[in-house]
Structure 1
């Protein structure tokens, strides 16, 4: 079989409505994977990265959301990219590896030689082709995208030890209590179809263990944690990566590019900026430009939806993304913010380090601002849907839930 016929498929894990509570109030009226970063839904970035792989047969999204929530987006993006994209709804949690196994027949219907597995809530340049080349040279069952982080930050992620020469995964620890390594798992993988036998092996082992009624006390202790898990609930990290480490099956590919996890609205604003910067390289046609004559003054990387109306005396950027039908008034100043659909920003208003929710309005000479510490709980100001900030009101480091009207200034508050 020549390399020309080798097909690959991609699976993107999108999670579900029970999770993503840290993403409120923005996830109240839209699934988190469809929240726009750099003017494109979050899931669009991994999808377009997959599209750049040659011989891509299909893309699957796997999650717990209702299919209808993705239907509109998926039909438009499938047409645009000319690649079949299907949403597969899990009826119950199977774990990160179990979910893959549950849909194995569909995933394998094109007999792919390789399967990409990506998490939707990571922000990355997704160097998938480089990963694939590396994976083929290693000859293992799977390759994990990894990155070096500070020793202080590492414990929030899966830490791993890799052989510095061969890049083989030697040891894997999920969110360890003590420091193991500054190399962490980026949540982007490539597997050969052997992964399905490996997952099946975990389930089989569990069944056998359950059938052994008389366990030594040591084994009983060990299996106490796993005994409560259903047989078909298989976690990629604890059940596959840890046991297969050091067996010449799993390898690592280190990215020198950016990587972030998108757990909070503040991180989504940071990641929007990272994606805008990447557009300079991959799709500069999406970035706005202007010098204040016919168009507004644009500084740095800015995305403006074609349907948005921006006054030529406005000054916008860096890191600003403006969605459909927004109206940006004369003399307004926007820095590091996401402006969602149907927002009105009136004359001379200022928005800095903020996300302004759908159909909200910001009055004349008002300021919606924050100090911009993206790792802090309230490093940005968030206005939920249909929030009205009246004229000359200042909103600082605050979160405002939907359908509120603010006629006095607030600071460091959560407005319920």
Structure 2
């Protein structure tokens, strides 16, 4: 997911460095990935780990010295769980034309779906944010927050004010000294909602691609958007149909190290990772196959994410049910529905965790298989623990 963020940032002229802020324990794959990205884009890229989860804004304040080192003119803040064509240069142009502490990227949603996002009421002439509500209970605006921002160094002052207020409130409740929750800052509720209408927050509207990535279904949708974007930006990354090669339908990405049998049929919207093996007669559609997985002969994999190192046995069928936005509504976004409804698992795409083994000639439909499981039979609408 963050490869796309890093690539977009690296293309902005004058970008000094990229900082990843998160609560996750950095592991060897993340370190390897960041080292490779540093070499590819020739930019310093570092991971800064929060000591506790600090919310959407707390990490920015906690690591403010690192962010402001080198005296940046401004800095981008990108949520990791979004997919976009990241119009960062256009945002930078807008900021330079009219500098303000906070510039938010906005897009439009339909009235019903807008309730699932941060909603922005803007002045249509000046694009100042007059009102901001995070996930309102009634309709506020069809302009929603994309989770992609450009902040001036001045933007850290309101974060400091929230931190100090949190500290005072915490000390009233707990006289033992520093309250551990003081560092948690919710950018949307604590900052944007409070400062809207004060001439500090502006919105830059985009009609480019954008989606949240909250579920495996939205990950497949994001993959489809990115593959479609490659038609314009990186056509060389898309597989071409060649004589003696697999049959390619639509947009397909195949990692150079993957081995794909010539009788396989791939696409549309398929991404095949490093070291993957795709056997004879395999049919793959609307799926992501992560590194090191093996699809044996004549398997059929549709609307599925196959975890790294997993094996799907010959003649097996692994299938999910698509849950796409309404194609007739240009403002429709992916619904981030929960996994369950009325106690039942919702039909959704199938997910195989890492190193799962699916036997030959079985059907796995609308199911989630946790890592390291070896299945012995077919499953439908199950979470297999």
> Normalised by the size of structure 1, how large is the TM-score?
0.82
* 1:300 lines up with 2:239 in the alignment: no
**Structure 2 residue 335 is the aligned partner of structure 1 residue 384:** no
In structure 1, what is the equivalent of residue 99 of structure 2? 139
Report deviation, 1:136: 2.1
Q: Which residue of 2 aligns with 1:409?
A: 378
Paired with 2:75 and 2:238, the residues of 1 have a C-alpha distance of 32
Secondary structure of the residue aligned to 2:268 is: coil
Alignment equivalent of 2:239, drawn from 278, 281, 288: 288
Q: Following superposition of structure 1 onto structure 2, how do residues 389-404 of structure 1 map, counting pairs within 5 Å?
A: 389-404=358-373
Is the Cα contact below 8 Å between 1:143 and 1:251 reproduced in 2? yes
Report matched runs for 1:103-122 at 5 Å.
103-122=63-82
Distance 2:305 2:170 in 1: 50
d(CA) in 2 for partners of 1:371 and 1:230?
41
- The equivalent of 2:115 in structure 1 is 155
Alignment match of 2:10 (pick from 51, 67, 88):
51
Alignment correspondent of 1:364: 314
1:210 positional shift: 7.0
Cα distance change on mapping 1:384 and 1:230 into 2, 3 Å: closer
In 1, Cα distance between the equivalents of 2:181 and 2:355?
Answer: 43
* Structure 1 residues 358 and 210, CA gap change in structure 2 (3 angstroms): closer
Partner of 1:71: 31
Change (3 A) 1:55 1:407: same
Question: CA contact under 8 A between 1:311 and 1:329: conserved in structure 2?
Answer: yes
Tell me the residue number matched to 1:329.
Answer: 279
Q: Using the alignment, how far apart are the partners of 1:210 and 1:308 within structure 2?
A: 54
Query: Are the aligned partners of 2:170 and 2:181 in contact in 1 as well (CA < 8 Å)?
Result: no
Decide whether the 8 Å contact of 1:393 with 1:406 is kept in 2.
no
Partner residue of 1:224?
A: none
Residue of structure 2 equivalent to 1:172:
132
Mapping 1:7-406, distance limit 5 Å: 42-69=1-28, 70-206=30-166, 230-291=181-242, 293-374=243-324, 375=335, 377=339, 378-406=347-375
> Take 1:367 and 1:212, find their aligned partners in 2: how far apart are those partners?
60
Change (3 A) 1:113 1:313: same
Q: CA deviation at 1:406?
A: 3.1
Distance 1:252 1:96 in 2: 18
CA distance in 1, matches of 2:180, 2:50: 17
Q: How far does the alpha carbon of each residue in 1:301-334 deviate from its partner, in whole angstroms, 9 at most, with x for none?
A: 1111111110111110011011111111111111
Distance change >3 Å, CA 347–CA 94, structure 1 → 2: closer
Stretches of structure 2 lacking an aligned partner (at least 5 in a row): 174-178, 325-334, 340-346
Aligned residues: CA RMSD: 1.9
Kept in 2: contact 1:135–1:142 (CA 8 A): no
CA contact (8 A) 2:159 2:185 kept: yes
CA contact (8 A) 1:135 1:251 kept: no
Cα offset, 1:211, TM superposition: 8.0
Partner of 2:328: none
- CA distance in 1 between partners of 2:352 and 2:169 (Å): 51
CA contact (8 A) 1:339 1:356 kept: yes
Q: Distance in 2 between matches of 1:390 and 1:210?
A: 55
SS of residue matched to 1:47: helix
CA distance in 2, matches of 1:357, 1:59: 28
Question: Judging changes above 3 Å, is the alpha-carbon distance between structure 1 residues 408 and 155 closer, same or farther for their aligned structure 2 residues?
Answer: same
Instruction: Pick which of 404-413 and 293-302 moved more.
Output: 404-413
State the shift of 1:289 in Å.
1.0
| Counterparts of 2:100 and 2:72, CA distance in 1 | 16
Q: Does structure 2 conserve the Cα–Cα contact (< 8 Å) formed by 1:361 and 1:388? A: yes
Q: When the two structures are aligned, how many residues end up with a matched partner?
A: 360
Structure 1 unaligned segments of length 5 or more: list them: 1-41, 214-227
Deviation at 1:359, TM superposition (A): 1.9
CA contact (8 A) 2:170 2:182 kept: no
Structure 2 CA distance for aligned equivalents of residues 348 and 79 of structure 1: 39
SS of aligned partner of 1:57: coil
Q: 1:90–1:99: 8 Å Cα contact kept in structure 2? A: yes
